[in-house]
Amino acid sequence: MRRTKRHQVPLRRAALKWPRRKRLSALSSLCLGAGVALAAPASSQPAADEDAPARVMSLNVCTDQLAMALAAPGQLISVSFLARDPAQSAMHEEAEAYPLNHGRAEEVFLARPDLVVTGTYSLHNTTELLRRMNVRVEEFSFVQTLETIPGEIRRMGALLGREHKARKLAAAFTAELSKIRAGQCARRPTALAYEQNGVALGAGTLADSVIEAAGFTNLAAQQGVQGMAPFSLEMVVEKKPDVIILPGGRNAAPSLGARVPRHPALEALPQTRIGAFVPSGSWSCGSPAVLEAIRALDALRNEIAPCGGSR
Amino acid sequence: MKPLTLITGLLLGVMALFLASLAVGPAELSLSESVYGLFAGGGETAAIIMREIRLPRALLGVCIGFTLGISGAVLQGFLRNPLAEPGIIGVSAMAAFGAVTVFYSGLAGASLYALPAGALIGALVAVLVLMALAARNGSTLTLILAGVALSSLSGALTALVLNLSPNPFASYEIIFWLLGSLKDRSMQHVWLALPLMAAGWLLIALSSRAIDALSLGEEAAASLGTNMARTRFLIVGGVALCVGAATAVSGTIGFIGLVVPHLIRPLTNRMPSRLLLPAGLGGAALLLAADVAVRIILPAGELNVGVLTALIGAPFFLWLVVRARREMF
Amino acid sequence: MRLLVENLDVSLAKRQVLHDVCLTLAAGEVVGLLGPNGAGKSTLMRALAGQVTAHGVMRLGAQDLNALSPVPRARLLAYLPQTRTVGWRLEVRDLVSLGRLPWRRFGVRLTAEDMAIVDRALTLMDADHLADRLATELSGGEQARVLAARAVAQATPLLIADEPASGLDPAHQMLMMRALRRLAGEGRAILVSLHDLALAARWCDRVVMLKEGRVAAEGQPDAVMTAERLAEIYGITAHFARDDGGLILAPTGLTGGEAL
């Protein structure tokens, strides 16, 4: 059984990354619509490359991923401080090349960016303040499924004036995703993404769609868990998932919550594979890096329940 | 009530509640499944749930409840103060602070042993400070005010340490440390805490003659052959050991040490030593009952048991304060 | 068994409170310890009870009191402190049973013999009828006798009682003194401090009068409690008479100019 150090998706930072419920994202698109109408061409009417913003700041670890993937050299002047955290950011190595910001209104204002990209809920007050100071702010509501990722890539491309690259990236993403999905079969083992304090990632989360895309059934979603919610140890033991995915990444410091997914009761489950199977940071954000998570889980699924194999 | 009747009754109550604690949980196990799971071997679902999840929880309920009850009784007897209790006088809070400091700082890696080590130091410091205060000025008020100060200070320091932790999850655990819980403990926790708690109970039991003699005041107690230094050592050491170990695995669970001795005392001859065992058993029963209740009231989210004991205990404390006259006890 | 105190010095917080005190006390005697407030009566008693550090000779029979550990000391000497403390709502019999603690082994319950000694102590202190009451609900005089019964139940050859009669009405004072005499009649030695000179004059075999930490006079009440000495030590005048029961002494006023 493979065991790696766990990765931490802390609740409060998770909130920076994606809203917990879908209705929130619906609400956010309303806000976004208003902001776009005031300050910028909507994504359906992309700006020409020569109108592209020259100085772009990203205040959120998830917009960091998209911006770093798409921006022209020199266009992105800073990324959020979390971008270098391997537990949070799939592109933490790339982020070493960029200055960091802490999302404070003053530092943004002083940096005089042409465009600020951030998450809808992460720094809401800051966003409002920046708008009042006539800084152009684009919010990304953090998608919770794989299906919306290509759209987000294209939208970031449009904002940065890098439509061509974005289209290529989005197409590659879609193609790769379809390829992996094509490998699925009827046998779908169950998997549970079990976070600190016994919180499971249920329906509507990015993790849920990654688990499904890799050919697993998400146990938490199957049991009616919506978003991130507590999932009792007893239920885990009773439902005996084939795979328990622990948070991966570098273990920053001890916490009691981190012990719950490692409870001896789970280790006593004879058939269950437990480990941090997903590369650290790879499914924290709806970015192309999610593919790494899907590939890793797909490989695991092929190992424990190969298609066409017989048991 | 005859002491034997009282103890038998309380023992039966503890056993019944222990079984209830084993029977309650999110997984719906039938009675036969539970019993089979507990005693038969194998990797069966029921066996894992019973042995790895519910049994440690019920055992910790008994031991920690016993600890809180007996500590409350011995502190009340020793200080001749009906409001003394490990939670109110700040011992639990200091123990939590100690555990948090050692554990989250990563000094001991992520080792569980860091928890009792830190908690014992915290509890010891608290008991020593309080005893020093009580020796100078033994009034009820001084002790309670000192306890309030100690509790607030250690609560704030606990929050500080947790906020400074590089692990962002740590700051959520402040709730656990301030209002404890028995959720998701394992047998590891039992083996960690039980020997220390048992040692604490033993020291407390050895002080029983002294606390009886102390009902006549320190001078009379000394003239009855009580060695005050030894008594102080037994009680400081005993309370620090068992409350420290309890807090290390369950966080701060308040008011049990206050409520239980008051409920049980009228059923005894009020001799402090005669209260120790019944108060321990009563504490075990009350904590088990509260821990069963939190699982039934909010099965999904599960309330921390410390919240429930505070909800019951704080009004009781107020009521005691309002009508408190020493001779009433 | 005889108490012998010689050249006793006691200092509290670097201030010398007792100077060179000498005292003897024989079995069957009630000795009154007199002196104004602050003369050192309580300190002397605490020194004998081993509760303050003292330098000098303190012997009870063959035993050196200074060298005794708490439990053997508690089997030789019972001390009744001035402050009357009853911590919990204990029944009188349970409270008096605490006097048996020095004689009981850990974890061993009270024996029938213990219970007999407790009952006897209650009888000696005229407290039989209180046995089943709550000690916290007694009158001051009753409580004083019950607490004294605890010291009596210790069954020690020496009993030291600090102001056992203070705060009691005349009848209760006399009940207390009569009980102490009865104990002496059983062969115990009693050292009792008193503020009430009339009580001391009438009920004590001998009195020891302290002034500023030194023994100012010692002997039978008739010999010690003279008009001159009362004027010198207490600064009072008194009326003296006598009857079959002994000396009758009634303070009448302050000596002129020697106001305290």
Split at pLDDT 50, 70, 90, the class of C117 is very high
- Tell me: the pLDDT tens digits for B228-277? 888 888 998 899 899 999 999 999 999 999 999 999 999 999 999 999 99
A270-274: Cβ within 8 A, 24+ apart: A270/B43, A271/A240, A271/A242, A272/A240, A272/A241, A272/A242, A272/A243, A272/A244, A273/A1, A273/A2, A273/A242, A273/A243, A273/A244, A273/A300, A273/A304, A274/A1, A274/A3, A274/A243, A274/A244, A274/A246
Question: Residue B325: what pLDDT?
Answer: 57
Tell me the pLDDT of chain C averaged across its residues: 92
Query: Per this entry, what is the length of chain A?
Result: 311
Question: Chain B: nearest CA to A251, how far in angstroms?
Answer: 8
Which pLDDT does position C116 carry in this prediction?
96
pLDDT digits (tens, 9 = 90+) for C94-112: 999 999 999 998 878 889 9
> Are B220 and C70 inside 8 Å of each other by CB?
no
Query: What does the mean pLDDT of chain A come to?
Result: 78
Q: Distance (Å, rounded) from C-alpha C136 to C-alpha A30?
A: 75
Touching partners of B (3+ C-beta pairs < 8 Å)? A, C
Res B111: pLDDT: 77
**Per the CB < 8 Å rule, is B269 touching C74?**
no
Tokens 């802390």, residue located? A10
**Looking at beta carbons, which residues of chain C come within 8 Å of B273?**
none
pLDDT at B137: 65
Mean pLDDT of C15-44: 94
Residue C260 lies in a domain: no
Q: Which position has the higher pLDDT, B41 or A173?
A: A173
Touching chains, C (3+ CB pairs < 8 A): B
- Is residue B41 less than 8 Å (CB to CB) from chain A? no
Contacts of A237 in chain B (CB under 8 A): 27, 45, 48-49, 52-53
The CATH number of the domain holding residue C10 is: 3.40.50.300
- For residue B301, list chain A residues with Cβ-Cβ distance below 8 A: 230
pLDDT of residue A28: 36
Residue-range domains of chain A with CATH:
13-177 (3.40.50.1980), 186-304 (3.40.50.1980)
**HSE (side-chain half, CA atoms, 13 Å) at C155:** 15
Residue C256 — pLDDT band, cuts 50, 70, 90?
Answer: confident
Is pLDDT at A250 greater than 80 in this prediction? no
Question: How far apart are alpha carbons C117 and C108 in whole angstroms?
Answer: 16
Residue A50 binned pLDDT confidence (cut-offs 50, 70, 90) = low
What is the β-pairing status of strands A217-218 and A115-119? unpaired
Confidence band, pLDDT 50/70/90 cuts, at residue A230: confident
Residue C25 parent element (H or E): strand C15-25
CA B89-B91-B95 angle, 5° bins: 155
Instruction: Identify the band that residue A247 occupies on the pLDDT scale cut at 50, 70 and 90.
Output: confident
Q: So what's the pLDDT on residue A31? A: 35
Q: Is the pLDDT of residue A249 over 90?
A: no
Domain that holds residue C13: 3-254
SS3 assignment, position B76 = helix
Q: Is the pLDDT of residue A46 over 60?
A: no
Best of B139, B211, B216 to disrupt the C interface by mutation (most C CBs within 10 Å)? B216
Tokens representing residue A253 in the block:
């410091």
Q: What is the DSSP string of A259-296?
A: GGGG-HHHHT-TT-EEE--SPTTTTSSSSTTHHHHHHH
8 A C-beta contact, residue A270 and residue B43 = yes
Q: What integer is the mean pLDDT of C158-175?
A: 93
pLDDT at A19 over 50: no
Domain assignment of residue C259, yes or no: no
Asked whether the beta carbons of residue B269 and residue C90 sit closer than 8 angstroms, the reply is yes
A12 confidence band (pLDDT: 50, 70, 90):
very low
Bridge partner residues of B17 (DSSP)? none
Task: Give residue A249's region: left, alpha or beta (phi > 0; psi -120 to 50).
Answer: left
pLDDT band for position A221 (cuts 50, 70, 90): very high
Give the number of other Cβ atoms within 10 Å of residue A273's Cβ: 18
Question: Measuring CA to CA, which residue among B295, B309, B231 is closest to residue B69?
Answer: B309
The H-assigned helical ranges of chain B are 3-23, 31-39, 45-48, 55-79, 91-104, 114-136, 140-164, 174-178, 187-206, 208-213, 218-223, 228-250, 256-264, 272-297, 305-323
Residue C60 lies in a domain: yes
pLDDT exceeds cutoff 80 at A22: no
How close is the nearest chain C Cα to the Cα of B3, in Å?
A: 12
- Could A230 and B300 be called an inter-chain contact, meaning their C-beta atoms sit closer than 8 Å? yes
* pLDDT tens figures, C179-210: 999 999 999 999 999 999 999 999 999 999 99
Average pLDDT of the residues in A240-260: 79
Structural domains in chain B plus CATH codes: 55-328 (1.10.3470.10)
- Residue A25: what pLDDT? 36
What is the arithmetic mean of pLDDT over A53-65? Answer: 90
Residue A9 binned pLDDT confidence (cut-offs 50, 70, 90): very low
Is residue A21 helix, strand or coil? coil
Q: pLDDT per residue over C202-227, tens digit each?
A: 999 999 999 999 999 999 999 999 99
Confidence of residue A236 (pLDDT cuts 50, 70, 90): very high
Tokens of B166: 């590089």
* C in contact with A (at least 3 C-beta pairs within 8 A): no
Encode burial over A10-45: b for 16+ CB neighbours within 10 A, e otherwise. bbebbebbbbbebebbeebeeebeebbeeebeebee
Higher pLDDT, B236 or A171: A171
Which of A129-143, B46-60, B121-135, C213-227 is predicted with the least confidence, judged by mean pLDDT? A129-143
What pLDDT score was predicted for residue A18? 39
Q: Does residue A6 surpass a pLDDT of 70?
A: no
Tell me the per-residue pLDDT of A27-42, one tens digit each, with 9 for 90 and over. Answer: 333 333 333 333 333 3
**Domains held by chain C: number:** 1
Average pLDDT of the segment spanning A56-66: 90
- As to burial, measured by CB atoms within 10 angstroms (0-12 exposed, 13-18 middle, 19+ buried), residue B173 is buried
Q: Judged by CB atoms within 8 Å, which residues 202-231 of A form the interface with B?
A: 230
Taking residues C37-61, what's their average pLDDT?
93
Q: What's the mean pLDDT in C54-66?
A: 93
Asked if pLDDT for residue B64 goes beyond 60, the answer is yes
Query: Could B170 and A255 be called an inter-chain contact, meaning their C-beta atoms sit closer than 8 Å?
Result: yes
Least confident of A73-77, A193-197, A269-273, B37-41: B37-41
Say yes or no: ipTM exceeds 0.85: yes
pLDDT at B140: 64
Closest CA to B232 of B123, B78, B90, B89: B78
Does C contact B via 3+ CB–CB distances below 8 Å?
A: yes
Q: What is the pLDDT of residue A144?
A: 67
Q: pLDDT-based confidence at B305, cuts 50/70/90?
A: very high
Tokens for A278? 């997903």
Strands A137-140 and A76-80: unpaired
H-helix segments, C110-218: 112-124, 140-153, 170-185, 197-203
- The one-letter code for the residue type at C181 is R
Q: Which of A3-7, B60-64, B190-194 is the least confident region?
A: A3-7
Window from A26-30, A120-124, A128-132, A151-155 with minimum mean pLDDT = A26-30
Calculate what percentage of chain A has a pLDDT beyond 70.
Answer: 79
Tell me which of B252 and A141 has the higher pLDDT.
Answer: B252
Measured between beta carbons, the chain C residues lying within 8 angstroms of B134 are none
Confidence of residue A26 (pLDDT cuts 50, 70, 90): very low
Which residues from A are below 8 Å from B187, CB to CB?
A: 264
| B288 contacts B65 by C-beta, under 8 angstroms | yes
Mean pLDDT for all residues in chain B = 88
Cβ <8 Å between B223 and C91: no
Of residues B10 and A73, the one with the higher pLDDT is B10
